Amino acid sequence: LKLGYGVTNLNYPEWLLKLLSESSINYEYFLPKVVEPGQIVGEISKELINKYGFNLNCKIAAGTTDSIAAFIATGVNKPGQAVTSLGSTVAIKLISTVKIEDSSRGIYSHRLMSENNTTNCLWLVGGASNVGCAILRKENFTNSELIELSSKINPQVDSQLDYYPLCNIGERFPT
């Protein structure tokens, strides 16, 4: 995505390919091949298997972002289901049959494993914010303080708190 790859039509933009070609850059070599997360993309060399003791059957699989990996790990798979994952940031993802993009609100869509079917695919619609756990470190909470405070959280009871501890001006936050 960061290189302009189009998740709707599964290709790089023509202007980029043209620019690279006109600059005598072989874009087929230069640009990465985009594949679905988890797809096997290679095997580990015998040298590395021997050096590090990897299992002989170990394969190399394509990765993804931490928030998408967290989403996939939950096993949700139907439109309307959503996951919020909390790490140094917080990410919100919802399965949708419709791709939604609204940069003014920090909303974007990732294609969800669709076996390269460009007409009937699912989308992970969501956004991310820097109001995750990194703010706690920025405010100098210690591990023991975080453990103590976390033990007092009852996930069954609404906290009644309504604030967003953004670290800096211009923070990303889906609205």
Amino acid at site 75:
G
CA neighbor of 110 nearest in space, from 19, 34, 30: 34
Tens-digit pLDDT profile for residues 23-54: 999 988 889 888 888 889 999 999 999 999 99
Tens-digit pLDDT profile for residues 85-133: 888 888 899 999 999 999 888 888 988 866 555 567 899 999 888 777 8
Instruction: Please give the biggest Cα pair distance in the chain.
Output: 61
Q: How far apart are CA 54 and CA 45, in angstroms?
A: 10
- As a whole-number percent, the residues of the chain with pLDDT over 90 amount to 38
Q: Do residues 129 and 168 touch, judged by C-beta distance below 8 A?
A: no
CA 84 to chain CA centroid, Å, is 12
In the prediction, which pLDDT does 18 show? Answer: 94
Global pTM exceeds 0.85? no
Lowest-confidence pick of 54-63, 91-100, 154-163:
154-163
